[in-house]
Structure 1
Amino acid sequence: MSDKSVVKKSGGLGETISVVVQALLLALVIRTVLIQPFNIPSGSMRPTLLEGDYLFVSKFSYGFSKYSLPLSPNLFSGRIWGSEPLRGDVAVFRTPADTSIDYIKRVIGLPGDKVQVREGVVYINGVAIPRVKVGQINNPDVTEVTHPVDVYRETLPNGVTYDTLDLTQNGLGDNTREFTVPAGQFFMMGDNRDNSADSRFDLGTVPLENFIGRANIIFFSIADKASPLEIWRWPTEMRFDRLLRSVNGTSFTPKSQ
């Protein structure tokens, strides 16, 4: 009886090139349509996100605009299959003044909202969102300073809770005018309230078209400005407790002091 379980011989260089091209096209489709990796280069979202965090951003959460595509070709305007960001989402977007720059902030105000900060408390449509001191963090890797920092937990009207840092009492952004969010735009704030260039300042409100996606999962995190390629630093600098951590809807739990 002959054995017909024969392994087909590889087609050589041509077949290898074909497989590589297909893999690259698949990766491009995934990056364009589904998810895109981003890294955090600054401390404006501390303690939720730290410098050295690497994220997967869901690009299909808000639909697609030209900024969803590599090089942002001007193929269409607005969004297709679009849905609006939810209050409390941590989102990546292009800044209105320079659409070559990516920012990541939290959605605080929706179209039509009136937003104001008074003595560090955020007011939405005249109503203060609950803000409770939950303790302090005394960890320079989290706070970027060498002294204990007060942590306040905020709860938005839709129930989303998150922690914010208060580095300085009566800081520059702790008292603002009242902002009215235009139709089709969103008011964005960083969780590190005294160290965030956001909608309270020159950033202004962000059009829906500028949104790239919703930050979902931290898949890698390394401290002390180490590169992920510096494998020899992983044992001492890797933040193992942050790996595969959800970005939205979770809070850091500091120790009360």
Structure 2
Amino acid sequence: MAGTSGIPEVFGANHFPGGTSGRYTLAAETALLRLPDRTSRLLNLAGKCYALQETATTILLSVLSDGADAAAHELATRHHMDESAVRRDIAAFVTDLEREGLVQSHTSGYSNTAARPGAGTAPSRAGLLLAALARGSDRRMRIRAFAVLAVVAVFMAVRGWPNTVSSCLACDIRPVGANRGADRPSPGDISQAVRSAVARFPLPIDCKARALTSWLLLRSASLPATMVVGAKAFPLRCHCWCESDGRIVADDPERCAEYTEIFSYSPQNGAWSIR
């Protein structure tokens, strides 16, 4: 996929040791995208993007792999620099990234597993409403798809993407009625319903609202559902879509193929993971 997206390397917290004093790791739900020109981008699910030049990328990878002290010693030795000055510069650099919520130290509560969005909190009213709308009979699938899409679009405009998706993922969406048996809708049925809702919606709908609507309807039918966030470079762009057993729902497979998968969420994992 890097051949079309321009992103040959993707790093997450699981790629680095962490877990020991003095170590840093990428924060949960944060990915480091290394580009062909050796620069990189730090990207997280909250929408933050931090561009790093080649030297900064090399330093950050060294800090994440070996620790700040080892990175300072190696850099000072290679370039015949004062090690204490290099250590101060690296500390300032990492502190900036930590302040932005893109890296974290072991002493700040290191975790090598991204927490499930909404974990430890009760589902919000927004999530409960969306879960209720998603449930229903197949006969009214297109009506439900339009209703869910409308509420998702409003919540995203008012509360933002991170809060809306957290509310939805925190809900246990249980199927009712026909959706429990052989008459439940297929991924194809849901895909058509969501596409129809998007086409009839009076305002533009972005990929995130389309993907989240598809995810909610798939879950309400007890069908496999995975949310995916991908990226491509030059210029850096992101795209979100939903899959069911590898089948892309309510989106263009050729368009999605242009993006390297960065983050994915499925109920089975219960957390966002980085490829």
Provide the TM-score with structure 1 as the length reference.
0.25
Greater RCO (Cα-Cα under 8 Å, separation 6 or more)? 1
Judging by fraction of residues, say which structure has more strand: 1
Higher helix share: 2
User: What is the TM-score with the length of structure 2 in the denominator?
Assistant: 0.24
